[in-house]
Structure 1
Amino acid sequence: MNAISLDATDCRILAVLQHEGRISNLDLAERISLSPSACLRRLRLLEEQGVIERYRACLNREVLGFELEAFVQVSMRNDQENWHERFAAAVRDWPEVVGAFVVTGESHYVLRVLAHNLKHYSDFVLSRLYKAPGVMDIRSNIVLQTLKEDSGVPVELVSGASHTVATAK
């Protein structure tokens, strides 16, 4: 792990980019009170250091026809050889699974699943998830309403005069 130092200007750049990823360098520089060349230099350094992993668009799932969202807890049978590797490989092939996490607690995994409707979700669970190697139990939590959703990092918690962040290299 290498340590990098983020100052308040770096944090302001990151905060703006998390909310407006398509902002031009000129507009970004103006927003954070830097010259365009200094802003671009800092931006490239943040990219090179791995602080900025990638740029992407946030899509509206409902407009695209994904009306159902579920968080699914999956418990596995531990008596099968390579149960984790086999399940992880299966999860990577399922487009409905948009998030997959190994967790502590009663289950082994939590999956975030998007489906067009209840039939699509039911088909996914019955024809793929239940048939995955080692699956013992599935508990679905259908999302009724989203109160907060932000895939960003709370940059305001790292801001200050200077903040050192450990990065993997």
Structure 2
Amino acid sequence: MQLDATDLKILQQLQTDGRISNQDLADKVFLSPSSCLRRVRALEEAGIIHHYCAVIDATKVGIEVEAFVQVTMRRDVEDWHENFSRALQQWPEVVATYIITGDANYLLKVRARNLKHYSGFVLERLYKTAGVLDIRSNIVLQTLKDTHQIAVELMQDQY
């Protein structure tokens, strides 16, 4: 799908407020409501708008620990990647996983109620997973920036 300036404005508005009414969105991007709705549906169908969600303040619901964990796997264990990928899907503490370059194979973003919960996750699940050779944890002390938004300026050079 080729994006134009109006599509980029729609994406910017929806990233700021995913619950905005179609009428308000249309007003902000200078379209008729029906034209705006068609464009939003086209962005959804093309997979550019992936899904909508509420962003929850973890500390206000009792999630005190956030950690980034580098995991290095033993390559001599058969199906290590497939087994680890399956295990990740069962762990609610893991909120994001990336295959990375460098010394480790994976980078996990982990959330836990407290340090005891995090410790139990690492010792009872992560270390006991077949193929895990080493883990390196980085506990977040303070978050300075955390956004899911993609800057329109980054998208404009593409189109």
The interval holding the TM-score normalised by the smaller chain is over 0.9
Give the partner amino acid of 1:80. V
Post-superposition CA distance 1:62-86 (Å, at most 9, x none): 1111010000001111001001100
Greater alpha carbon shift after TM alignment, 117-126 vs 50-59: 50-59
> In 1, distance between residues paired with 2:122 and 2:69?
10
Aligned length: 159
Post-superposition CA distance 1:53-108 (Å, at most 9, x none): 11111111111110100000011110010011001111110000000111110101
TM-score (norm. length: structure 1): 0.91
- How far off is 1:37 after superposition? 1.1
Question: Would you say 1:144 and 2:141 are equivalent positions?
Answer: yes
1:63-102 alignment to 2 at 5 Å? 63-102=60-99
Q: Identity percentage over the alignment?
A: 57
- How far off is 1:137 after superposition? 0.5
- How far off is 1:146 after superposition? 0.8
SS in 2 for 1:144: coil
> Match for residue 13 of structure 2?
16
Which of 109, 128, 133 is the equivalent residue of 1:131?
128
Question: Would you say 1:117 and 2:111 are equivalent positions?
Answer: no
> In 2, distance between residues paired with 1:73 and 1:50?
30
Give the partner amino acid of 2:60. V
SS in 1 for 2:111: strand
Larger strand proportion of the pair: 1
> Match for residue 166 of structure 1?
none
Mark the runs of 5 or more structure 2 residues left unpaired by the alignment: none
Question: Would you say 1:55 and 2:44 are equivalent positions?
Answer: no
> Match for residue 103 of structure 2?
106
> Match for residue 167 of structure 1?
none
Compare relative contact order (CA 8 Å, sep 6+) and give the higher one, 1 or 2. Answer: 1
SS in 2 for 1:5: coil
CA RMSD of aligned residues (A): 1.2
